Structure 1
Amino acid sequence: MQGLRNMLLQEQKHLQEIADKARMGMSVEPEGHLRISRDKNKPRYYQCIDGNNEIYIPRSNKELPKLLAQRTYNRTVLKKVEARLKQIGKILQDYTDDEIEKIYTSMHKERQLLVTPIEPTWNQLLMKWYEEEYQGKEFKEGVPVIFTEKGERVRSKSEKIIADYLYRKNILYKYEKPLYLNGYGIVYPDFTLLSRKTGKEIYWEHEGMMDDQEYARKAIQKIESYQMNDIYQADRLILTFETKQCVLNSKIIENLTARYLFEMI
């Protein structure tokens, strides 16, 4: 299952936080545990220490029963969490998301030619997606002619910066591949990529004229349309912005890619 390891790591982190909170609460807990009985339909609280040694807690002491009950709860939570952390730790010791794929990819090349993998490898799926033809957006006359290191024409120097960075990182992308958004129509994301973890496409939109009021209005409308179609930033959408006074910095591309794109892919 793609992404299972990451899910387990996230759950491991979440459980560790719970364990830390439980231990912190236990550090200030009173001794013993709470026993509750009823007298004329009213609860009576006892602090139980060392087996059968019970101390009645008067009704005026409202805090001690709460602390004792919390102590038992925290200990029970911690016991369960530690058991689950142990299970997750054992799974993570020898589990990788691509372990089935590696059975095929680790074979000798000559043997691979004789075998059809039960499931296509990631590279096979990626290349099939990448080689699918599409009709991009046409270039109007008068638009600057800018080519990337890959030899692909783009519309701006900033798009070239992004494209060249992806190319140097060996990240396959499609430039201005059409996408239909319900309630908006067809858009042409600057870059479309494929996520290995989810098998879904990721879209990178660079909005390069945000100091132009009409351009900014249309850009915001388009971004809202992405969201209305369940495509959100840092999930399946990457956004970069630019104005005449604030140009795109290549360091931003590097940071965004490291923080979001590699995690998505």
Structure 2
Amino acid sequence: MYELENMLLQMQEHLEKVVTQAKADLNTTVPEGHLRISIDKNKPRYYQCIDDNKGVYIPRDNKELPKRLAQKGYNKAVVKKGEARLKQIKRITKNYSDDEIEKIYTSMNKARQLLVTPIEPTWDQLLTKWYEEEYHGKEFKEGTPLILTEKGERVRSKSEKILADYFYRKNILYKYEKPLHLKGYGTVYPDFTFLSRKTYREIYWEHEGMMDKQDYARAAVRKIESYQINHIYPGERLIITFETEQNILNSKIIENLIEKYLL
């Protein structure tokens, strides 16, 4: 599962922040000892325990000391649990790779590979199969300008050509205007469809190029909402870029999105 390693690293980063925050709180001025609570007539009684577990009674008008002692105990427990989990994650990720099973096959020489059928298809095999599956894209209306990409594929706009050429130069396989059915909306033709190596699921890139035109923008918002209704969310399986006459497609944004989602 290609997401496992990423999930573990994200969890590690999260826990490191939590532990750092808890330790920072403990390094501030904190009272000695720990808090003991007893219940008397359904009301809590607080004790500060320093040299023994019985402790010294904390008067009711001292509301701050029980809170600080309780917070101290909580933070210590967070540090203890967080550090234990961090050790586990680091042990796992030290010698772990999402594609370690695949590498058993791909590390073989070609002659040996010809004799072996991998238990699981390799990423390249899956990607090739996905890419070679035929589909019928959206038809071009008569009179539509002829715009060709570096790959020789026809697209509908100069911005789509810019995007397609970026993908082509980086050897990123895509399908142009592959039909996708969205429940409650109908069939859409995402500008570009990719197969994600991280999730083995399709992700979609929609470029909305005339957002300063009211009718176009209204239709674009409705379409994007329909993606989300079908549980395809921006930042997960949907990449969106925008453009107006004043704000053209930003090449740096393209590069960042490719780096984040497609490489």
TM-score range, shorter chain: over 0.9
Give me the identity figure in percent: 72
* Alignment correspondent of 1:232: 233
Letter in 2 for 1:3: E
Distance 1:42 1:245 in 2: 67
Q: Deviations over 1:179-221 (max 9, x none)?
A: 1111111111110001111111111111122222222222121
Letter in 2 for 1:233: P
Distance 1:37 1:246 in 2: 66
> What secondary structure, in the 3-state scheme, does the structure 2 residue paired with 1:252 have?
helix
User: Greater CA deviation, 46-55 or 196-205?
Assistant: 46-55
Q: Deviations over 1:214-246 (max 9, x none)?
A: 222221211111111111111111111222232
* Alignment correspondent of 2:17: 17
Q: CA deviation at 1:163?
A: 0.3
* Alignment correspondent of 1:8: 8
Q: Deviations over 1:56-89 (max 9, x none)?
A: 3222211111211221121112111111101101
> What secondary structure, in the 3-state scheme, does the structure 2 residue paired with 1:193 have?
strand
Distance 2:175 2:105 in 1: 28
Q: CA deviation at 1:141?
A: 1.4
Q: Compute the TM-score of the two structures, normalised by the length of structure 2.
A: 0.94
Distance 2:42 2:137 in 1: 76
* Alignment correspondent of 1:209: 210
For residues 33-182 of structure 1, the aligned pairs below 5 Å read 33-51=34-52, 54-182=55-183
**Aligned pair in 2 of structure 1 residues 75, 145: CA closer, same or farther (>3 Å)?**
same
Letter in 2 for 1:254: E
Q: CA deviation at 1:255?
A: 2.5
Alignment of 1:261 with 2:261, yes or no, is yes
Unaligned runs of at least 5 residues, structure 2: none
Unaligned runs of at least 5 residues, structure 1: none
Alignment of 1:194 with 2:217, yes or no, is no
Superposed CA RMSD: 1.6
**Aligned pair in 2 of structure 1 residues 43, 239: CA closer, same or farther (>3 Å)?**
closer
Distance 1:155 1:39 in 2: 77
Q: Compute the TM-score of the two structures, normalised by the length of structure 1.
A: 0.93
Q: Deviations over 1:17-66 (max 9, x none)?
A: 22122112212321111122344554332211134683332222111112
**Aligned pair in 2 of structure 1 residues 117, 68: CA closer, same or farther (>3 Å)?**
same
> What secondary structure, in the 3-state scheme, does the structure 1 residue paired with 2:151 have?
coil
Matched residue pairs, number?
Answer: 262
**Aligned pair in 2 of structure 1 residues 216, 67: CA closer, same or farther (>3 Å)?**
same
Distance 1:141 1:255 in 2: 36
* Alignment correspondent of 1:247: 248
> What secondary structure, in the 3-state scheme, does the structure 2 residue paired with 1:9 have?
helix
User: Greater CA deviation, 25-34 or 89-98?
Assistant: 25-34
Q: CA deviation at 1:256?
A: 2.3
